[in-house]
């Protein structure tokens, strides 16, 4: 298998498929943090230890086939171009931290891009498993299977009382972060999100932006995850998160209904104006593009727009990020050049959809 496919396809299969409640929950992720006994944590280990860990993974797991997810390939950060690393971040396959601050970092990626095992990030091993829609239990099952598979070859740092030992004390215990990526435009439009986020925080959950810790919520996409990793089982953490997510889904649906009832024409106008901007602009910044894409996606969910598939928007959200634009252009672009390319790419993609819809009507 060639590595090229990881960089040239914008949307991984888990992102293009529909899952339960995928009008609101874009994806579910389980991440397990693990460390290997006899090695110091990545925050303090030396280069030799870091390389030994990468070699261990290269020899044991690279090119190995795992049922249902396909063959694994090992990508070393030191061998990737800056743009290629950015593309992997934009596809949510690696964290910005691995791409930017881990010279001995690597990533073991499954052929279907559902599994990404980051090596030498904040911990020696971070297993992440991604599923479309609200499928935390399913993602946990696969993550646990992979965890067992790796443990057949590696001795984990584990304490009988504390559980898995991790670099950062906040991850000790299960070492698990369960998260969902949610599209919540109606809660943002009605400003209910401002009181919902503090309430979620009080329940021991965290609300983050589209690209994780420290990033902002582009296009009304929020990441919700557990804060607590100690004193609760993985299954309980997932169940608790799921019940909050289900309440959020209900609130977002209710807010959409209220908007349609009270501001139908204004909402429809907003959706079509955003569509107009996307279909016609010659220069567009990523923030504006993300906001318009969010409006159009809402318009599709509410039935105002009928001839575009929801997936095009998932795809455009990633394709219009700086890394992808430069990967397509085959080199570095200045921000002003990216804004022009972004506008052209969106226009072209929407035209393709319109043509497809017209052919379907004939
Ligand atoms: N549900 C999800 N769907 C898709 N991608 C996700 C999801 N949750 C997190 N990610 C991606 O995972 C990456 C890491 O996110 P984040 O920093 O929040 O988690 P983490 O590294 O596991 O957390 P921490 O190190 O703080 O415990 C980000 O690039 C983010 O885009």
* Buried residues in 262-278 as b, exposed as e (16+ CB within 10 A): eeeeebeebbbebbebb
Confidence of residue 259 (pLDDT cuts 50, 70, 90): very high
H-assigned helices in the chain: 4-8, 13-16, 47-61, 82-90, 96-101, 136-151, 185-189, 193-202, 234-280, 286-301, 310-319, 322-329, 335-361
Q: Which of 109, 223, 321 to mutate to test the pocket of ligand 1 (most atoms within 8 A of CB)?
A: 223
Query: What Cα–Cα distance (Å) separates residue 31 from each residue in 51, 92, 260?
Result: 23, 12, 37
ipTM of model: 0.95
Q: How confident is the model at residue 357 (pLDDT cuts 50, 70, 90)?
A: confident
Question: How far apart are the C-alpha atoms of 102 and 259, rounded to whole Å?
Answer: 45
Do the beta carbons of residue 131 and residue 31 sit within 8 Å?
no
| Ligand 1 centroid distance, CA of 229 (Å) | 15
| pLDDT value at 334 more than 70 | yes
- 30 marked as part of a ligand binding site: yes
Q: Ligand 1 centroid vs 211 CA: distance in angstroms?
A: 7
Mean pLDDT score, 274-301:
95
Q: Which atom of ligand 1 is nearest to the CA of 211?
A: 31
For residue 14, the model assigns a pLDDT of 76
Average pLDDT over the chain, rounded to an integer: 89
For the chain, domain boundaries: 3-173, 260-360
User: Residue 190 — pLDDT band, cuts 50, 70, 90?
Assistant: very high
Beta carbon of 270 within 6 Å of any ligand 1 atom? no
- Concatenating the DSSP letter of every residue in 235-253 gives HHHHHHHHHHHHHHHHHHH
| Distance in Å, CA 289 to ligand 1 centroid | 22
Report whether residue 29 contacts ligand 1, using a CB cutoff of 6 Å: yes
122 CB near ligand 1 (under 6 Å): yes
| Structure confidence at residue 209 (pLDDT) | 83
Under CATH, which number does the domain 3-173 receive? 3.30.590.10
- What's residue 44's pLDDT? 85
Average pLDDT of the residues in 159-174: 91
pLDDT tens readout for residues 50-89: 999 999 999 998 888 888 888 899 999 999 988 889 889 9
Residue nearest ligand 1's atom 18 by CA: 212
* pLDDT digits 0-9 by tens, 203-232: 889 998 877 777 777 889 999 999 887 778
Question: Ligand 1 within 6 A of 95 CB?
Answer: yes
Residue 29 is labelled as binding a ligand: yes
Our answer on whether the CB atom of 213 is closer than 6 Å to any ligand 1 atom is yes
> Is 70 exceeded by the pLDDT of residue 1?
no
The Cα–Cα gap between 357 and 57 comes to: 47
Stretch among 144-148, 271-275, 313-317 having the lowest mean pLDDT? 313-317
Please tell me the predicted confidence (pLDDT) of residue 272: 96
pLDDT tens readout for residues 42-59: 888 888 899 999 999 999
pLDDT value at residue 115: 94
Query: Is residue 78 marked as binding?
Result: no
Quick one: pLDDT at residue 59? 92
What tokens appear for 89 in the block? Answer: 């971040």
**Which of 41-50, 114-123, 181-190, 292-301 shows the lowest mean pLDDT across its residues?**
41-50
Predicted pLDDT at 2:
57
Nearest CA to ligand 1 atom 11: 92
């Amino acid at each position: 298998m060639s590595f090229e496919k990881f960089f040239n396809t914008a949307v991984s299969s888990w992102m293009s498929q529909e899952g339960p409640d995928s009008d609101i929950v874009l994806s579910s992720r389980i991440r397990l943090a693990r460390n290997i006994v006899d090695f110091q944590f990545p925050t303090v280990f030396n280069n030799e230890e870091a390389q030994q860990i990468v070699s261990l993974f290269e020899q044991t797991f690279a090119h190995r086939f795992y049922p249902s997810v396909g063959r694994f390939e090992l990508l070393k950060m030191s061998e990737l171009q800056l743009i290629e690393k950015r593309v992997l971040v934009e596809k949510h396959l690696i964290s910005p931290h691995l791409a930017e601050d881990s010279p001995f970092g690597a990533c073991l990626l499954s052929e279907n891009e559902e599994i990404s095992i980051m090596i030498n990030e904040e911990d020696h091993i971070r297993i992440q498993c991604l599923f479309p829609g609200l499928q935390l239990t399913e993602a946990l099952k696969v993550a646990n299977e992979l965890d067992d598979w790796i443990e057949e070859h590696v001795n984990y740092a584990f304490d009988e009382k504390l559980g898995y030992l991790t670099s950062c004390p906040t991850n000790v215990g299960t070492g698990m972060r369960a998260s969902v990526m949610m599209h919540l435009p109606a809660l943002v439009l009605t400003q209910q999100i401002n009181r919902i986020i503090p309430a979620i925080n009080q329940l021991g959950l965290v609300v983050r932006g589209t690209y994780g810790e420290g990033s902002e919520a582009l296009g009304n996409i929020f990441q919700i995850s557990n804060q607590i990793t100690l004193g609760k089982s993985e299954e309980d953490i997932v169940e608790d998160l799921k019940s909050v997510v289900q309440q959020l889904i209900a609130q977002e649906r209710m807010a959409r209904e209220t908007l349609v009832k009270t501001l139908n024409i204004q909402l429809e106008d907003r959706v079509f104006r955003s569509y107009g901007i996307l279909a016609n602009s010659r220069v567009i910044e990523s923030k504006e593009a993300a906001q318009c894409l969010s409006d159009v996606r809402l318009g599709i969910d509410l039935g105002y727009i009928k001839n575009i598939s929801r997936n095009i928007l998932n795809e455009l959200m990633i394709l219009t990020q700086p890394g992808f634009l430069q990967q397509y252009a085959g080199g570095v672009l200045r921000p002003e050049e990216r804004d022009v390319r972004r506008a052209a790419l969106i226009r072209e993609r929407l035209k393709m959809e319109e043509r497809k819809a017209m052919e379907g009507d004939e």
